[in-house]
Each structure stands twice: as structure tokens, then as C-alpha cells.
Chain A
Amino acid sequence: MNEFQFALQVLLAGIARGSVIGLVAISIVVVFTATRLLNFAAGEFVMVGSIAGVLIATPGKAGFWWIALVVGIIMGTIYSVSMERLVVAPLRRRGVEPIIIVIALLGVSIFTAQGVQQLMNPGTRAVSSPWLGNPFDIGGVIVPRHTIAIILGVGFAVTLFMLIRQRTSLGLSLRAVGSNRDGARVIGLNVGRVESLAFALSAAVASLSGMLIAPLSGWQPTMGLGIAITAFIAALVGGITNPLAAFIGAMIIGILGVAIEIYISPLYSSPILFLVLVVVVLFRPSGIIPSRESEDGPLRA
């Protein structure tokens, strides 16, 4: 394998990672669009959404992955909506500062991760998928089947998501509630229900991401926080108000991260990504990707 083929492979790995992170970034953007909150429990949406994978799509039962996906999405949705009803909505009603709600969400994240860990014992579990077979060899570049599945699955999900967001009344009401909560209420939108739906949609996307990651890197109860941080960096770098921008940001972060890990050293990927975040946030807080909907009001000091 020559240099070029190797580079292509690294690129492919980066695209795969970027896609999966991109889904989580989109899930963060959905919640932010509707509630102007940073959902620090996003990682737990991924984790809870893929518990079904651990329980159902166990090694040897590859075909059950699809069942696990559906069950996972349902579980993730139930989890996210209950969390929204129990924690977020009451705090909203009190009128506390957004940062307090964000901290409470962090508390939920820790609570969930630790709770699941107690219930299911720590340690990585394996999840099987229909695509863990022999990789394809395309012109000297080794392409794992799962990577293709990720790219196709994520592509489908993002398209579906954007259709929902731009073309349906649900998408419109999500954006309306986020942009002007009281105004939305005035024109008759059920703000509470829309916010719950935002969390539900967010969890569905995150669950898919979880089901795609888990066969590759295993499932742990504590997998959430690391994924969430990377997804946040991606969303902030790309542009947190626009799901496509966030997705592209995730691609950049994914490719960059894999490239640094392989070509330089795994030691450097976290600090460099952190530096990228700081630079972008300081000089282009609305994200690298130019976007019409650039209101970073709540994020500025």
C-alpha cells in the first residue's frame, strides 16, 4: 500500500468518525435550536440509545441489529423526554439562568451514566452488526463494510432530518419556539410539547449514532461524556445554529482527529482539537461555516 492509499484510508476513517460525531452534533443542534440550551446529556442519549444493542444485538446475532436500532430509538426517546419533563421544564418554569439548567443536565448525565453502570456493571460490551464481515478492497484501499454502512446510514439520517426540519410543520415549530419562545406561544404553539419533541428527535438521532458506534468501539456505560465533548467541539466549530454546519464541523473534527492520531500521536489530538475550539470560538463564535441564521446572542458574555 502506498502513501496515497494510506492517506485515503485515513481519510475514510476520519469521514466515518466525523459522520457518527456529526449525528450527535445534529442532536445537540436540535436541542439548542428549540431551547437555546446546551444539552450536556447528549452523550447519554447515545449511550441509552444503544443499550438495546448490548442486550439484543449480541455477538452472533448480527441480524438483530435492526431490531436493536428500533428498540434503541424508542428507549432513547423515552429517556430524553422523561428527563426533559422532570428536570428541564420545571427549571425553565422557575426562570433560572440557562447555565444552571446546563449544570443540571450535566448532573443528569453523571447520574445516568453511573446509574446504568451500577445496573449493568462497568466494562465494555460488544455489539454486533450485520457489517462486521470481510472488508472490501477498492483499488488497494481497504474499506470496512461498517464504514460504508455508517456513511450510508448517516447520509440517510441527515437527509431525513433536514427534510423534517425544513419542510414540515414540526421543524418549523422547533425553530419558531427557539427563536422566540413567547411569540411562539402567542401564535398558539404548545411550547412545552415542542420542546419535548425537540428532545425526542435529538435522542432518536443520537440513538442511531450509538448503534453505529457501538459495534466498532464497544459500549460502556461511561461512553457518553467523551462523545459529548467531541460533539460539542464539532457543533461549536461548525456552527451551533445550523445542523448542516454542525455536521460539516464534525467532519472536520473527525478527519482532523484521526489524522493527528495516526500521523503525529494520539497524545496530541485532544489538545489540538481543544485549541481549534478556542480559536474558532474566539474569532468566529457563530462557527466556521457562514450561515444566515447566525444569532449567537445567548452564547456571548
Chain B
Amino acid sequence: MKSTSRTNLSQQVNESAIKAGVPSVRSDTRNWFVQVCLVALVVFLLPKMLIPNAYMQGVATLLFIYIILSISFQTLFGQAGLVSFGHSAMFGLGAYFSTFFVTKYQVSYPLAWGAALLAVLIIAVFVGSVILRLGMLFLAVVTLSLCKATILIISQLTVLGGDDGLSVPLAVEDVSDRHIFNYFLAGIPMCLVLAVALALRSTRIGREIKAIGDDPVASACCGIPVGRRRIQVFALSSGLAAFAGMIFAQTNAFISPSSFDIGSGILILAMVAIGGLKSVWGAVAGATFLIILPEVAAPLQELNQLVYGLVLILVFRFAPHGIMGIIESIRHGVSRIEEKRKTSTLSTKGSKDL
């Protein structure tokens, strides 16, 4: 017997999925722990092996923060199918709330972070329960104006530094190498968030969320509490974005409304789109691509926003499933070539189990 019936079934499912244009539904979700450990290993080794200089460590720190952001957005848009342009506002709220609690009320950092997270979660649940029942197009406009309104309010409040921004008191003053410290301050949570996102896929709730993204009506018919899950995903996603914001406030030591404007929302969207909407690893790939790109292609640095807009157009036009989709098609193409080769060598035996 060449293969078990279980592998055959998943192969058939993968084939029909590829034909339908969806990246494969491979069931390797059980390997997430191993994958995260590998990533953590890379994160630990990178500073010593590849990037010993402070500048690249700074880039990597930013990359880790954006990976958290794009994973959070992928969960919302790619899995649950909810478009929200307000993501950068949640990012900003996390940064501002945590800084505000420390500067205004002199609380300790862990408490400030906890309180900021709670504040954002409450806001997300409140806002989400109101607007998430709208159709996609309405939701897009509403979240876009929400983002703009939030940023405008923040920039007008002088207590938050207004347009000029706010410097962030550091949580840990006495540190030998600030860059390495920031690097791990972002890197360790990134691994945790990645683990959560990957593990979520194999849980019932995670699958329900994905089902809602694929077909809300069918999901409701299966008994999935669509409205409640949507609010939960929105809250989780906003919480992760706020978490990224708090880390950003610490590593950047300075926050201003311009870092959280629609531009960064577009960046997050572009990252998830180019990586592949439907996969967590796509979010990672997209973030890596768009952060590394300006480093590799130096002239592109000033044209950042331009490139992100262009990425959005080109990805949906030519490669709607992004980088992960391309990888899947290559994989699938390779395995089909192998199958054909095997069939031709085995045809003399007339095997029936292919």
C-alpha cells in the first residue's frame, strides 16, 4: 500500500482547494509548537550571527512589532473576514494609554500595560458590538472615519503631547545594550503572539472564526454564534495591536500621532495582503518583505507610502493569494510533477490505490 487513506483524502482536498484558488488546507497545524520554537531559535541567534550592529537590530525590533501587528490584522481580516481600517488607531491607543497611565498617574509599568490593555479591550468590545454587524463596505467607511477621528482627537489633546508627540519614560533605565534590550523586548512577545495565532487555528474557536470568514451564513446555520465570535475576534485583534503599540512606545521612546495615522493602517493591510490573506505565516512573510524591502532597495526608503499603495494594487491584481499563495502553487506544482512521474513508472503494475 502506497499511502494511507487519510493522506489520500487530504491530498484530494488539497487538490480541489488549489483548483478553487485557495491555498491548501493542509493539516499541519499540529506542528505549530515546533515551528514557533524554530522561530524563537532564529530570534535568539540572529543578533549574534547575522546582525551584530545596532542599526539592523533596530530594524529587526521594528519588524517584530509589525509582525505582531500584521498577525493581529490577519486574524481579523484574513480569518474572520472583517475589514477594519481602524487597526492603526488601536495600535496608537495602546501606545498612548500606557504612556498616559505612567506619566499622569505614576503607576508602575506592568500595571500601566495591564490597564491600557483593558481600556483598549473595553473600547473594542463596545465599538465592535455596534459596528460589526454592518456589511463590508459600510464597515470599511466607518472604521476609516473612526481611525481619522481617533487620531484627530489624540493630536488635539495637549495633555497627550498634541501633534508634537510625547516622550515615553523607559520602564527599565539601567540597561547595558539598549538595542539588544529592545530587540528582545519585541522579539519575545512576537514569538508568543505567533504561538497564540498558530495554536488558535487548531482550536474550536479558531476554526469557528475561520468558518465565519469563509461563509457567515453557513456558519450561523451550523450553530456558530457569529455575532459573538466577531466581537471576540475584534477584541483579540485590537488587544494584540494595542500590545504592539505598548512595545513600540518603549522601544521608540517617543510617540506621535503621525505614527498611527491611516498610513500605518495601509502598511499593515499591505503586509497582510502581500503575504497572503488567509494564512498566519502570510502575515509574517508580508511584514518581513515590506520592512526589509526599504533596507535592501535604498532608494525606496522615501517612497515608502507609494510602494505600499502600489503593493496593494499589484497584489490583488496579479497574485491575490500573496507570497504564501505563490509558495503553495509552487509546492503543488512540484508534487503534481512527482505524482505524474510515479504514475508513469508504476503504470505497468496497474496499481489501484493512486
Contact = CB atoms under 8 A, between A and B. Distances in A.
B148 A278 contact: no
Interface stretch (B113-121, B130-138, B283-291): B130-138
Contacts of B146: 274
B62 interface: no
Given A270-B148, A285-B138, A103 B316 contact: yes
Contacts of B137: 38, 98-99, 102, 298-299
Interface in B109-167: 130-131, 133-138, 140-142, 144-146, 148-149, 152-153, 156-157
Given A233-B141, A278-B130, A300-B135, A103 B149 contact: no
A103 B138 contact: no
A277 B310 contact: no
Contacts of B303: 114, 118
B305 A281 contact: no
Nearest to A109: B309
A139 interface: no
Nearest to B273: A103
A153 B134 CA distance: 36
Nearest to B266: A110
A266 B152 CA distance: 10
A59 to B, nearest CB: 28
Contact of B312 (A94, A107, A298): A107
Contacts of A99: 83, 136-137, 140
Contacts of A299: 134-135, 137-138
Contacts of B312: 103-104, 106-107, 110-111
A277 B145 contact: yes
Which of A38, A101, A106 has most B Cβ within 10 Å?
Answer: A106
Given A103-B273, A281-B138, A274 B149 contact: yes
Contacts of B142: 274, 277-278, 281
A90 interface: yes
A103 to B, nearest CB: 6
Interface in B255-269: 262-263, 266, 269
Interface in A251-285: 266-267, 270-271, 273-274, 277-278, 281-282, 285
A191 B73 CA distance: 35
A298 B135 CA distance: 7
B317 A232 contact: no
A108 B309 contact: yes
Contact of B83 (A94, A103, A225, A298): A103
Contact of A281 (B134, B216, B266, B310): B134
B114 to A, nearest CB: 27
Nearest to A235: B141
B306 interface: yes
A112 B152 CA distance: 23
A301 B148 CA distance: 23
B153 A267 contact: yes
A67 B144 CA distance: 35
A266 B140 contact: no
A150 interface: no
Contact of A278 (B131, B136, B320): B131
Interface string A232-261: 110010000000000000000000000000
B313 interface: yes
Which of A91, A96, A270 has most B Cβ within 10 Å?
Answer: A270
A229 interface: yes
B311 interface: yes
A132 interface: no
B308 interface: yes
Interface in A72-92: 87, 90-91
Interface string B232-267: 000000000000000000000000000000110010
Nearest to A226: B148
Interface in A108-161: 108-115, 118
Contact of A104 (B144, B216, B305, B316): B316
A100 interface: yes
A114 B305 contact: yes
A270 B317 contact: no
A278 to B, nearest CB: 6
Contacts of A278: 130-131, 142
Contact of A115 (B157, B306, B316): B306
Contacts of B153: 267, 270-271
Interface in B280-332: 302-303, 305-306, 308-313, 316-317, 320
Given A110-B266, A113-B305, A285-B134, 14 more contacts: A96-B316, A99-B137, A104-B312, A107-B308, A107-B313, A110-B305, A111-B309, A225-B262, A229-B148, A232-B145, A270-B148, A271-B149, A277-B145, A299-B134
Interface of B: 83, 130-131, 133-138, 140-142, 144-146, 148-149, 152-153, 156-157, 216, 262-263, 266, 269-270, 273, 302-303, 305-306, 308-313, 316-317, 320
Interface of A: 38, 40, 87, 90-91, 94, 96-104, 106-115, 118, 225-226, 229, 232-233, 236, 266-267, 270-271, 273-274, 277-278, 281-282, 285, 298-301
